[in-house]
Amino acid sequence: MNKKTNTILFMLGATVLNIVLMIVIFILLFWLYGRFIASSVSPQLTSYVMIGIFIGSIALTYFIYHRLVKWMSNKWNLDDFFDPIFKRRGKPR
């Protein structure tokens, strides 16, 4: 396979991993909320807590995904196998 194919397959796999990771983190945070905090929070506040859990799962997913890709890139030197996604442009005329 060439570098463009490797890049496309990696991006597709990374996107699926990112979505699955976000769903798992959201379910885990929702379970922790329901198990330990829900009984002490008023029902009116629950909607705001759910928004916070959703935003927290996105932030935590980004943090984990960023660290994982950085670790993989350093461990296996992925620059040799992938095409750059954003290419540098020449000077404008």
* Predicted confidence (pLDDT) per residue in 3-44, tens digit: 888 888 888 998 999 999 999 999 999 999 999 988 888 888
Contact residues for 50 (Cβ-Cβ < 8 A; gap 6+): 30
What is the token pair recorded at 64? 């984990």
Report yes or no: 81 and 11 within 8 Å, Cβ to Cβ: no
**Residue 91 is assigned to a structural domain of this protein:** no
**Residue 93 is assigned to a structural domain of this protein:** no
What is the domain extent for residue 62? 3-80
Total domains present in the chain: 1
pLDDT of residue 81: 75
Mean of the per-residue pLDDT values of the chain: 87
**Residue 46 is assigned to a structural domain of this protein:** yes
pLDDT of residue 1: 73
This prediction has a pTM of 0.78
**Residue 54 is assigned to a structural domain of this protein:** yes
